[in-house]
Structure 1
Amino acid sequence: MATHQVAEDQEDVVLRRKFLGAAVGVSTVVITGMPAAASGRQPVLTGPSAALEAALLQPPQATPLTLDQLTLALRVAREDFRQARYAALSANLPKLLATATASRDHFTGRSRENAQAALAHAYAMAGELAIKTRSGTAWVAADRALTAARASGQAAPLGEAARVLAVTMRQAGRAHAALEVLAGACATLAEDTSPSAQGVRAASLLTAAYTAAHTGDRTRALDLAGEAEELGRRLSRGTDTDSFTIHATRAQCDAFHISIHNVLGTPDEGLAYARRINPAVFTTAERRARYWTDTARMWARLGDHGRTFAALRAIEQQAPEEARRPSVRALTADLVYAPVNLPGLKEYAARTRAIQN
C-alpha cells in the first residue's frame, strides 16, 4: 500500500474516533444505576425470552465467517424480525451472536471495525426482540450493542444501539433520561451526512418524539415528529434500509402520530392519521402489526370496543406472534373484561394467551 494511502487511512480512523468520542458515551450502569442485567428477582423465562437469555449469557462456540457471510446471516435474521417470526429469530440468535463475536475476534484493522459494526447490529436486533417480549435481557443487549458500535468507529450502528437503549430505558420508566440519550445520538448523527446515518437519525427522531410524549411534552413530541418527517422526505430512495427497522416514510410518521396522541391522552387527534394510512404500504409484517396495535389502542381509548377487536384481529392476521406479545395480550384482556359482548373475543383471547381457557 502506498504511503499516502496509509496516511489517509490513519487520518480517517482518527477522525472517526474523534467523531465517536462526542457520541453517546454512556452505559446502562451510568444511566440506570443498575448493572446491565435488570436487578431484582427475575421471572422464569420461556419461549423467545429464554432463548434470548441463552444467546446473551450462554453463547455457544462458533467459528468465524467472512464479512460477506456475516452480512448475509444478519440479513436473514433481520428478515425474521421484519416478518415477526420471533420464535425463529430467537432460536437462531445464539449462533448468530457467537459467530459475529468470533468473526470480530478473527479480523484486524478495517475488517475488524466492519465486523464490530455487524456485531453491534446483531446485538441491537437482540435488544429489539427483548423489547418486544419485555425481557430484562434488553439491558444486556443494548449495552453490548453500544460497546461494539463504539469500537466500530461507525455512526449508523452507534445511533441504532443508542435508540435500542433509549427504548429499553423508556420501558423501565426513565423516559426523560431516554430522551436525553436520543437527543445526543441525533446530534451526533447530524454530523454524518451518509444515507445510512441519516436513516438512523430519522428513526431516532421518531423514537424521540414518542419518548417525549411519555414525558408529557406535547410540543416537543410533535416538533420531533415533524423533523423526522421532513428528514424522511429528503432521504434518497437509495438509502440503505437493511441495517435498521424503522424508516421515516410518510405512513410511518403518521403511525407514530397515532402512538404519540395515544400517550398524550388525545386519541381523537390520531383519527385523521389513522384514516389516511393504507396498512398495505408497510412492507413488513412487524410494521403492519404495529400500525394495528396503535389503532387498537386508539379505539380502546375512544371507547369503541368493536373497532378495537377488529384491530386486534388484524394484528393476528398479519403477525400471529405479535398478537401474543405482553402489551397486546394486556390490551386484549382489558377488552375481555369490558362490559361488552363481542362474538369470537374469548376464543381470540384464549388463542393469543391473553386469558386462560
Structure 2
Amino acid sequence: MGRSTEPADFGAVIRGARCSARLTQAQLGARCGYSASAISRIEANKLRLEYSAMLRICEVLAIPPGRMRGSTVPDGAAVATVTISGPSDEEDAVRRRELMTGVLAAGATAVVGTGSASAASLSGDPTAGLEDALFRLPDAEPVALPLLITRTAAARRAFRAAHYEVLGHALPGLLATAAATRDAATGRARQQASAVLARVYVLTSELASKQHVDAAWVAADRALSAARESGTPVPVGEASRVLAITMRRSGRWSSAVRFLSGEAAELDAAEQRAAAVRTTLLLTAAYSAATGGDRSTALALLDEAEGDVERLPDVPGLFTVEATRAQVDVYRIGALNALGTPDEGVKVAAGLNIASMPTPERRARAWTDIARMNHALGDGPQTFAALRRVEQEAPQEARRPALRALASDLLYGPARVPGLREFAVRTGVVAA
C-alpha cells in the first residue's frame, strides 16, 4: 500500500484548529483557495493534499508543520490529490464586463441549451451539477448533427470568453444531448457525433480542472474514449491533453509526460491541424515535467514546441488552446515558475505580447503566470497589478481557487498593497 506523510487523522487536526480559530469552512477555504465543500472533504479525509497545500493550510491555522510528519496512513480508494499554487477606471471596466456576462448568459443559454434544474445557477458555482451529470446524465433526445455542432460551438465560445457560469449551466444538458445523438447514430454519423461528444467532455474537464473539482478526471477519460471512437486524430489529441492535465494534478507528472509524448508521436506533423495539436501536447508535457522538477526535459520540450510554431502557419480553430509563439512563451514562464527559477522568466515576460492572444481565457492565463512569477520574486505590487489584469480580462478567472489562494497570500503577507483588500472582496477571498 502507498504511504502518505499526513497524520492518521489530518482532517481532525484541521477541523480542530479551524474551530479554535473561529473560522467557518467557507472562511478557511477563501484564505486557502478552496471551496467550503473542499474544506469539508479535507476534514473528512476524503481529499488528500500534497505537502505544499498542507503547509498553506497549516500556516493559515497556525498548526506546527511537524504535526504532519512521522505518521502514515494507507491510501484511500476514493481520495484525490490536489495542489494549491496559488472604484477606479479599471474596476468600472470590470463591472461593465460582469454586466455584459450576465446579458450574454441569456443568449448563450438559449443557443447552448439548458442544464437540469439542479445544475449550476448563473450566479453560483460554475461546476455545480457537473459531477451528478457525469454519473447520471439528464434525459435528452438526439438532435440533428448540425444543431449539436452549433450548440457545442456556443459552449466553446463561452469557455474562450471565460464565461464559466454560463458554460457550467449549459454543460449537463449539452453532455446528455451529445451522448443521445451519438448513441442514436450509426456509421459515419456516429463517428462525427463521437468527435463532438469528445469535445463537450473536453470542455467539461477544462472547467472542472480550473475549479479543482475531481470530476475533471472522469470527464477527461470519457473525452478520450469518445475521441478514439471518432477515429479522428485531432479530437484524440485534444482529449489526451486534458487527461494528462488531470494526471499531473494528481501528482503523476512523469506518467503525463510519457503519455503526451506518445500521443504527440502519433500525430501527423505534415497535416497542419494535427501538427498544431501536437505542439499543444508538447507544451503541456513541458509544464508537467517542470512540476516534477525535471528541468532538462521541460526545456527540451519547450524548445521543440518553439521550433514547431516557427514552421507552422497560423492555424485557427484549435479547441481550447492555440499553437502560437505567444503560447510557447506563456508555458515557458509557467515552467520556469514551477522549476523554482522565476527570474529566468522575466525577460520572456517582457517580450510577451499578451494583447495578441485571441481569447480572454488565454490572456487571463498569461497574466496569471506573470502574477505567479512576480509573487515568487517577492514583488507584491507587480503581483497585484497582474492579478488586476486577470480580472480585467476575465472576471471569473480571478475567482478561481488558484487565483484566490494567490490573492490570499498577498493579503496576509507582510506588505500592504493598496486596493488589494477591495480586490479580495470582489473575488471572494474575504467577506465584505
TM-score computed with the length of structure 1 as normaliser: 0.85
Which residue, out of 171, 186, 190, partners 1:112? Answer: 190
| Distance change >3 Å, CA 192–CA 251, structure 1 → 2 | closer
Q: Deviations over 1:179-223 (max 9, x none)?
A: 11111111111x464322222111111101111111211111111
CA contact (8 A) 2:80 2:214 kept: no
Matched, 1:197 2:251: no
SS of residue in 2 equivalent to 1:47: coil
| Distance change >3 Å, CA 41–CA 254, structure 1 → 2 | closer
Which structure exhibits the higher relative contact order, with contacts defined as CA atoms closer than 8 Å and separated by 6 or more residues?
2
User: How far does residue 157 in structure 1 lie from its aligned partner after superposition?
Assistant: 1.0
SS of residue in 1 equivalent to 2:127: helix
- % identity of equivalent residues: 51
* Correspondence for 1:102: 180
* Correspondence for 1:39: 78
> Counterpart of 1:214 in structure 2: which amino acid?
T
SS of residue in 2 equivalent to 1:135: coil
| Distance change >3 Å, CA 225–CA 41, structure 1 → 2 | closer
Provide the rounded CA distance (Å) in 1 between the counterparts of 2:188 and 2:270.
20
User: How far does residue 87 in structure 1 lie from its aligned partner after superposition?
Assistant: 0.4
- Which stretches of structure 1, 4 residues or more, deviate above 4 A after TM superposition? none
Q: Deviations over 1:283-326 (max 9, x none)?
A: 10000100110000000011111000101111111111000100
* Correspondence for 2:207: 129
* Correspondence for 1:345: 420
TM-align CA RMSD: 1.7
* Correspondence for 1:154: 232
Structure 1 spans left out of the alignment, 5+ residues: 1-37
User: How far does residue 41 in structure 1 lie from its aligned partner after superposition?
Assistant: 8.6
User: How far does residue 40 in structure 1 lie from its aligned partner after superposition?
Assistant: 3.4
Provide the rounded CA distance (Å) in 2 between the counterparts of 1:319 and 1:350.
16
User: How far does residue 247 in structure 1 lie from its aligned partner after superposition?
Assistant: 1.5
Matched, 1:227 2:265: no
Matched, 1:178 2:256: yes
Which residue, out of 163, 170, 175, partners 2:241? Answer: 163
> Counterpart of 2:309 in structure 1: which amino acid?
G
Provide the rounded CA distance (Å) in 2 between the counterparts of 1:165 and 1:82.
19
> Counterpart of 1:340 in structure 2: which amino acid?
A
Alignment of 1:133-148 (within 5 A): 133-148=211-226
* Correspondence for 1:52: 130
Provide the rounded CA distance (Å) in 2 between the counterparts of 1:170 and 1:131.
11
Matched, 1:216 2:216: no
CA contact (8 A) 2:368 2:390 kept: yes
| Distance change >3 Å, CA 192–CA 120, structure 1 → 2 | farther
CA contact (8 A) 2:269 2:278 kept: no
Q: Deviations over 1:114-135 (max 9, x none)?
A: 1111111110111011100110
CA contact (8 A) 1:127 1:164 kept: yes
* Correspondence for 2:46: none
* Correspondence for 2:328: 253
Provide the rounded CA distance (Å) in 2 between the counterparts of 1:248 and 1:200.
7
Provide the rounded CA distance (Å) in 1 between the counterparts of 2:133 and 2:308.
36
Alignment of 1:306-317 (within 5 A): 306-317=381-392
User: How far does residue 331 in structure 1 lie from its aligned partner after superposition?
Assistant: 0.4
Q: Which structure: greater helix fraction? A: 1
Q: Deviations over 1:219-241 (max 9, x none)?
A: 1111111111221222233x3x3
Q: Deviations over 1:161-190 (max 9, x none)?
A: 11101101111111111111111111111x
CA contact (8 A) 1:124 1:160 kept: yes
SS of residue in 2 equivalent to 1:335: helix
SS of residue in 1 equivalent to 2:275: helix
TM-score computed with the length of structure 2 as normaliser: 0.70
Matched, 1:276 2:315: no
Provide the rounded CA distance (Å) in 2 between the counterparts of 1:321 and 1:252.
21
Structure 2 spans left out of the alignment, 5+ residues: 1-76, 82-119
